[in-house]
Structure 1
């Protein structure tokens, strides 16, 4: 068994090393690609690709695709590594350093149809700084801006603006995507629409976002921030829902419930053509328990204690039959993923079969295993 594995690695090394690309691979200094923000999983990749062009990414994926189902190589795109459960890692695979991707510079188009063209590895904070030079800004944000475009669009991208404009995936005009077959495809609602909606919120399962055209709007010169404290939760939710339905209110609404920990509540409207799933309700809330711990901490402040609390919350919601869906979902079995997607699971599988039939992409999500046929 050991000899077989070593021979396989040797074959992988030789085949990747001889690829004609503008960027380069590293095979030794790969430890940084085996970590992420969650700091719970450390899965060493076989190699890290530092692409200079989209062609580098396409060439690499196409090569792995042509190697067929017997190759162990998989591919994960890594932006700032802000995942929590190893989603941007590829054990014994290839991690793509999206920050190395070069190409056309960020371009802001002003006018009635305002947008910005950006690389999939670009940070939202940089988009803000550049678009503000033209008096513009993206319509929808995340609460933390040092994240990549490809990363947030692969999930949803939400904040207190989402109730009015939708999440970030609802404010994209066009994408450039490299599929699991190594094909570079431009897509939008009217061009390759199924791939477009598959990739948005698709957890990296159908393609790597290498470029995006993001909708912009005029940025205000000044804003007013109003903070209101409530002692009654029912009154709080009633007023919040009144504000999101009124035509002329605020552009950003969010709430915090302060007990022993801090929770964030938010609500928004959604485009159900994307791969992201939501509760089957007209209005729903995002409830986020914002806790942190270092892995070595113990007791009630320890990481395992916090994770156990999270599991108990999910178990309670299931037992009480409360309608809920995990945002930034993490499951370990395909049965759990199937329950998460519910009626959309069949469409999700069909899309996987169409755009990444060998399950090369985003193995860290643990949804599909490479080379297992889909049915």
Structure 2
């Protein structure tokens, strides 16, 4: 076989002609079957084909599916990633490639059947977070590797008294992973999703090119990749906006019996903020003791007893969390400020509960819950989660049809319900949201050791209800199995999405687990 044969032929020889053990047992080193440039760069030494590596890369956080790759690449540099993609792109029989960060996907989106999964975390050994504090706009930013996790970004920026303004609720996610979706939380109404807080990206495209892009340079790629579900390139660096970091958080919890009051107050809290209102607003459901236990670190036993009495006469309690950031200078006035912001709201009298937290403690609050679940063996279980964006005009109908009926007896994990402002999103990016000025994120954090299929059926019932009721909801972290499903999801953006794929990944190498492009129609003759 010629020395410059493609990596694909090596995969075929390994996985079709003979098992891996017999190939390894041959006298001729298997690295000689790689393209010459891979051998010279010693990329072969960072490709693993053993069962331990491929099995690790065959599952994700959802634990709902298993897809075995042919190999796993442990890159030591961005150039390694580029070389791998170029090898596939130039091959007669290209192989698929998926970038794996923290693998917090749910249905195999970071997997590559019989392809190569890139273990992005191995770049952590060579990449560092670089902080820039310049005197000209953008005033503050951090250059962050796509493989970095947000908790490390937070730690590094806080050393300079700075912090990204927009977060996800869980910080142990990779930068490239959240920017490939959107990155949302209770700050989104004010600062926009994480994709709205990026100045510049380095991306390895589906052709293997390393491209720096921004709103001003290579803007088509920049807008495509942000929220692009990994379809157009692998994010290897992001320049993230930073703001001066607060020190502490005043944390208020408000309880409601009435859904209309609950949503009306949330919508009021996210409107006309001008930096003077709350910095974070999220709503959720309290249905029974299990939901109440999610907040055991906040509520006192006395508070819990009062809430239990409410649950005895109300099947469903609605709950708003709102926080105001402050520092040592503003500490003397923060209580007065929060009390002012709460005036006129319609929460149950006596159920505006407040306490203080450190800024880091608040942002990293979900990690405490993770550690408790890990100790109980309840973290590495099935997670048939579902996120959907529901237009403000139909959120009441959603409450009646879903929370009060379909989900009436379901208590398999927290449910969050909170609004966001459309004007904080950039329509030029690939992410899809409802066509209303205000829309709600509804998040079902389901978990099950065994009977997860039942929970998936619940998700299908909810989506079916939305279709039948004419609720134009959009899935976040979407997963469809048909082309029609994806076309309906992207709606007017579909044709642009296809054109972007044709431009930046014309052979359809990247992120095959999304199952958006099962064929490349433009390649047909």
User: How high is the TM-score relative to the length of structure 2?
Assistant: 0.67
The secondary structure found in structure 1 opposite 2:84 is helix
Tell me, yes or no, if structure 1 residue 107 matches structure 2 residue 107: no
8 Å Cα contact 1:65/1:182 also seen in 2:
yes
The CA distance in 1 between the partners of 2:512 and 2:253, in whole Å, is: 42
The secondary structure found in structure 2 opposite 1:276 is coil
- The match for 1:63 among 81, 87, 99 is 87
Say if 1:134 and 1:41 are closer, same or farther in 2 by CA, change over 3 A.
same
8 Å Cα contact 2:150/2:171 also seen in 1:
yes
Residues 172-224 of structure 1, C-alpha deviations (whole Å, 9 max, x = no match): 01000000000000000001011001000000000000011100111112211
The CA distance in 2 between the partners of 1:90 and 1:115, in whole Å, is: 33
Q: Which residue of 2 aligns with 1:357?
A: 506
- The match for 2:466 among 298, 317, 320 is 317
Q: Which residue of 2 aligns with 1:326?
A: 475
8 Å Cα contact 2:231/2:510 also seen in 1:
yes
The secondary structure found in structure 2 opposite 1:35 is coil
The CA distance in 1 between the partners of 2:196 and 2:207, in whole Å, is: 26
The secondary structure found in structure 2 opposite 1:48 is strand
Tell me, yes or no, if structure 1 residue 266 matches structure 2 residue 418: yes
Say if 1:341 and 1:152 are closer, same or farther in 2 by CA, change over 3 A.
same
The CA distance in 2 between the partners of 1:222 and 1:9, in whole Å, is: 57
The CA distance in 1 between the partners of 2:219 and 2:278, in whole Å, is: 32
Tell me, yes or no, if structure 1 residue 21 matches structure 2 residue 41: yes
- The match for 1:214 among 217, 240, 245 is 240
8 Å Cα contact 1:353/1:374 also seen in 2:
no
Deviation at 1:111, TM superposition (A): 4.8
Say if 1:291 and 1:11 are closer, same or farther in 2 by CA, change over 3 A.
closer
The CA distance in 2 between the partners of 1:50 and 1:34, in whole Å, is: 15
Q: Which residue of 1 aligns with 2:430?
A: 275
Residues 146-195 of structure 1, C-alpha deviations (whole Å, 9 max, x = no match): 00000000000000000000000000010000000000000000010110
Q: Which residue of 2 aligns with 1:367?
A: 516
Q: Which residue of 1 aligns with 2:312?
A: none
Higher Rg: 2
Deviation at 1:22, TM superposition (A): 5.3
- Give ranges in structure 1 of 5+ residues lacking alignment: none
Tell me, yes or no, if structure 1 residue 78 matches structure 2 residue 106: no
The CA distance in 2 between the partners of 1:325 and 1:304, in whole Å, is: 22
Residues 36-76 of structure 1, C-alpha deviations (whole Å, 9 max, x = no match): 111122111111111111110001101100014x33x1000
The CA distance in 1 between the partners of 2:108 and 2:11, in whole Å, is: 24
Tell me, yes or no, if structure 1 residue 40 matches structure 2 residue 59: no
The CA distance in 1 between the partners of 2:154 and 2:90, in whole Å, is: 40
Runs of 4+ aligned structure 1 residues displaced above 4 Å come to 5-8
- Report the number of matched residues: 363
Deviates more, 1:196-205 or 1:98-107: 98-107
Tell me, yes or no, if structure 1 residue 250 matches structure 2 residue 278: yes
Q: Which residue of 2 aligns with 1:149?
A: 175
Q: Which residue of 2 aligns with 1:289?
A: 444
Residues 232-285 of structure 1, C-alpha deviations (whole Å, 9 max, x = no match): 111111111111113221010011122354321122231111100011111000
The CA distance in 1 between the partners of 2:10 and 2:244, in whole Å, is: 58
Deviation at 1:303, TM superposition (A): 0.2
The secondary structure found in structure 1 opposite 2:90 is helix
The secondary structure found in structure 2 opposite 1:100 is helix
Deviation at 1:8, TM superposition (A): 5.9
Tell me, yes or no, if structure 1 residue 9 matches structure 2 residue 37: no
CA root-mean-square deviation? 1.9
Deviation at 1:132, TM superposition (A): 0.8
The CA distance in 1 between the partners of 2:42 and 2:250, in whole Å, is: 48
The secondary structure found in structure 2 opposite 1:254 is strand
8 Å Cα contact 2:284/2:418 also seen in 1:
no
User: How high is the TM-score relative to the length of structure 1?
Assistant: 0.92
8 Å Cα contact 2:141/2:239 also seen in 1:
yes
The CA distance in 2 between the partners of 1:121 and 1:93, in whole Å, is: 20
Say if 1:16 and 1:251 are closer, same or farther in 2 by CA, change over 3 A.
farther
Deviation at 1:103, TM superposition (A): 4.3
The secondary structure found in structure 1 opposite 2:200 is strand
Q: Which residue of 2 aligns with 1:123?
A: 149
The CA distance in 2 between the partners of 1:77 and 1:120, in whole Å, is: 10
The CA distance in 2 between the partners of 1:285 and 1:167, in whole Å, is: 13
